Structure 1
Amino acid sequence: MSGGSLSYICYSIENNLIGEMQDEIMNEFVKDFAELTHDLEWWLSADYGEETYRKSLKEFKNKWFKNYSEREKEAILRIKDRAIKEIKEI
């Protein structure tokens, strides 16, 4: 069995928070954070090598701690596109 060293917290985050943040960007953040905690837990449980976790951590930091305003613009465009699609379906 994989993971377990953190009581499978990645699944708690995934099952309880993804889609529940009432904010497009925060929902995406929580999804990515759940994936990061998965890799951390699997590394701590000796199912993944440290390099796998470190790579995931680097990607997470690069995505979320740099160019935030660009992601915010992308999220607004996704919301706009969904709204236009919903209006067209009426």
Structure 2
Amino acid sequence: MVSEHTIGFEPADTLAKDPESVRKRFWAKFKRVAATLPFAEDLLSAYYCAFDRQTPRHVQAALLGAIAYFILPFDFIPDMLPVLGFT
């Protein structure tokens, strides 16, 4: 089995701890797929809340984790496999 470390991708929790990396990678991916996302407006709201100084830290951490999950490309493959994609 190939882990995310062997193919050069960091896990979502690691990426979420680096807000600047999330910020850069978010906009690149969002611009590519915004027209096809049914939840694009919600995703954009989550992004702005994650970087708002008035948002509580625990909420920022959860939002950054969710945004990191959106950014990372390696999750697409397991979702296509029966049973394994649900884990």
Structure of higher CA gyration radius: 1
Tell me: higher relative CO, structure 1 or 2? Use CA pairs within 8 A at least 6 residues apart. 2
TM-score where L is the length of structure 1: 0.32
TM-score where L is the length of structure 2: 0.32
More helix by share: 1
